[in-house]
């Protein structure tokens, strides 16, 4: 029997920016949900130069799913055309903007266009590890800013101009951002499906809350943790937040921030999912100061374990979290300080956010059941 679909597992593998990222989590969940619903008549491609999740490998073998190593972008295009697949699905299609797939229907996830929505930030320099990379950034911003944005726009335009396609995205924010930046798109060729957030891995009442604030993805300027760290560090210097500490996850360069109260910060590099889940469970509070988000997994991961969240009132975050978190202006260190003091001193607010977080998770899980059934049909049938 001919395989109708080629599934892009490259999207589940590490990116140049991070070993673990939202796009990979999304693609992995689509793959696992497909198998749970009995869809197995498809092939997969992956990049042999990058790590591939052992669970995915095992499931491919168990379900007799062909797994093909593809070493370059051009090979992906050639492989699809040679084997004449009816459909090609990718949740990270951004390198495929020049593809000519003939009669193959391209189902693509465009999880967000943050490079166009948020091309840079004045604090971006602090995330560079050496003088050369800082100088390179300054030159690009000073002399090539317009050219860089135009190049990015052209890349997206190449992808979105493919005629034989359907676009999947993960929030109403992302949908209307696409329609805003690319007005020639047809609203009917864009489907919104909230990605799977999963259930708590264990009973969330089995771990008590500890006295630490949690920050995640700290190596990426778009996540904006530097402003939150300054807010926390200055509050410590003023004698506030007694007994509280901060765990910062994803910080490979431990000299990146000039922290005064070093004994109050625990700096972590990449951690596995089990350890990260433990931090979500036991944190006093998650601070999520992101500057752009197509969806935003971390606040929901925290809410699954009754951990209150302080978050940016920006892009998709308000749509996804609704009234279950306490919002702030992510560009204002003063306002971030304000919210930290508020959550630290107002027990009624703290308990209310825990309750609202649980309700929001329940609501999202219920909505996802309907959305995902239709999504899987679109991709696999």
Q: Report CA 122 to chain centroid distance, whole Å.
A: 22
Average pLDDT for 240-259: 84
Quote the radius of gyration of the chain (alpha carbons, Å): 21
Phi first, then psi, for residue 114 (nearest 5°) are -60, -30
- Residue 148: per-residue pLDDT: 78
Summary mean pLDDT of the chain = 90
Contact 39, 380 (CB under 8 A): yes
161 phi and psi angles, rounded to 5 deg: -85, -10
- Which residues, including other chains, have CB under 8 Å from residue 349's CB and lie 6 or more apart? 326, 342, 343
pLDDT in tens, 198-233: 766 655 555 688 999 999 999 899 999 999 999 999
* Mean local confidence (pLDDT), 331-357: 97
SS3 per residue for 112-179: CCHHHHCCCCCCHHHHCCCHHHHHHHHHHHHHCHHHHHHHHHHHHHHHHCCCCEEEEECCHHHHHHHH
Here the tokens at position 111 are: 């999880």
**For helices 54-62 and 22-36, angle between their N-to-C axes, nearest 10 degrees:** 20
Give me the mean pLDDT over the 159-165 stretch: 92
| pTM (predicted TM-score) | 0.86
How far apart, in whole angstroms, are the C-alpha atoms of residue 304 and residue 361? Answer: 7
Distance between CA 268 and CA 248 in Å, rounded? 6
pLDDT of 1 above 50: no
Beta strands in the chain (DSSP E): 5-8, 42-46, 67-69, 87-90, 105-109, 165-169, 190-192, 212-215, 245-248, 265-267, 285-288, 309-312, 326-328
Tens digit of each residue's pLDDT (9 = 90 or more) over 111-158: 889 989 998 898 988 888 777 888 888 887 777 678 778 888 898 999
Q: Residues 5, 8, 9, 15: what is their CA dihedral angle, to the nearest 10 degrees?
A: -170
Q: What percent of the chain has pLDDT over 70?
A: 93
Count of other CB atoms within 10 angstroms of residue 302:
26
Which two structure tokens, joined as six digits, stand for 77? 């295009």
Long-range pairs, 336-342, Cβ under 8 A, ≥24: 336/227, 336/228, 336/231, 336/287, 336/289, 336/310, 337/231, 337/234, 337/235, 339/310, 340/213, 340/231, 340/232, 340/235, 340/241, 340/287, 340/310, 341/235, 341/240
pLDDT of 164: 92
User: Looking at 52-66, 67-81, 85-99, 364-378, which range is the least confident one?
Assistant: 364-378
CB hemisphere CA count around 70 (13 angstroms)? 23
Q: Say what the pLDDT of residue 256 is.
A: 66
Residue 27 to residues 22, 23, 160, 311: CA-CA distances in angstroms? 9, 6, 20, 25
Q: How confident is the model at residue 17 (pLDDT cuts 50, 70, 90)?
A: low
CA–CA separation, 381 and 328 (whole Å): 43
- Give me the pLDDT at residue 2, please: 54
Report the pLDDT value the prediction gives residue 324, as an integer from 0 to 100: 98
Q: How far apart are CA 225 and CA 215, in angstroms?
A: 7
Residue 254 Cα distances to 135, 225, 269, 325, angstroms: 20, 13, 9, 29
| C-beta of residue 331 within 8 angstroms of C-beta of residue 314 | no
Angle at 204 between CA 201 and CA 210, to 5 degrees: 120
pLDDT digits (tens, 9 = 90+) for 278-318: 999 999 999 999 999 999 999 999 999 999 999 999 999 99
């Amino acid at each position: 029997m001919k395989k109708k679909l080629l599934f892009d597992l490259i999207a589940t593998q590490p990116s140049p920016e991070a070993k673990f990222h939202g796009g990979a989590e999304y693609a992995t969940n689509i793959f696992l949900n497909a198998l749970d619903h009995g869809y197995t008549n498809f092939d997969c491609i992956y990049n042999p130069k990058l790590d591939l999740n052992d669970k995915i490998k095992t499931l491919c073998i168990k379900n007799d799913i062909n797994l093909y190593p593809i070493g370059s972008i051009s090979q992906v295009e050639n492989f699809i055309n040679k084997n004449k697949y009816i459909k090609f699905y990718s949740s990270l299609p951004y390198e495929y903007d020049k593809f000519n797939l003939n009669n193959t229907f391209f189902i693509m996830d465009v999880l967000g266009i943050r490079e166009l929505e948020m091309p840079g930030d004045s604090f971006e320099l602090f995330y560079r590890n050496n003088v050369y990379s800082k100088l390179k950034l300054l030159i690009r911003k000073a002399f090539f800013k317009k050219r860089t944005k135009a190049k990015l726009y052209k890349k997206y335009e190449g992808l979105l101009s493919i005629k034989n396609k359907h676009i999947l995205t993960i929030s109403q924010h992302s949908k209307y951002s696409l329609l805003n930046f690319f007005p020639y798109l047809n609203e009917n060729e864009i489907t919104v499906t909230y990605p799977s957030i999963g259930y708590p891995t264990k009973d969330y009442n089995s771990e008590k809350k500890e006295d630490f604030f949690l920050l995640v993805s700290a190596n990426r300027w778009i996540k904006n943790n530097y402003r939150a760290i300054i807010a926390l560090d200055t509050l410590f210097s003023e004698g506030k937040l007694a007994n509280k500490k901060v765990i910062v996850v994803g910080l490979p360069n431990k000299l990146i921030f000039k922290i005064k109260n070093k004994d109050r910060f625990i700096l972590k590099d990449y951690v596995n999912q089990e350890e990260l889940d433990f931090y979500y469970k036991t944190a006093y509070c998650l601070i999520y100061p992101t500057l752009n988000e197509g969806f935003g997994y971390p606040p929901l991961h925290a809410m699954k374990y009754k951990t209150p969240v302080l978050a940016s009132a920006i892009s998709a975050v308000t749509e996804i979290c609704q009234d279950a978190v306490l919002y702030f202006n992510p560009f204002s260190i003063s306002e971030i300080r304000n919210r930290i003091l508020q959550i630290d001193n107002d027990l009624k607010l703290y308990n209310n956010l825990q309750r609202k977080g649980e309700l929001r998770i329940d609501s999202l899980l219920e909505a996802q059941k309907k959305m995902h059934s239709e999504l899987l049909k679109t991709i696999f049938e």
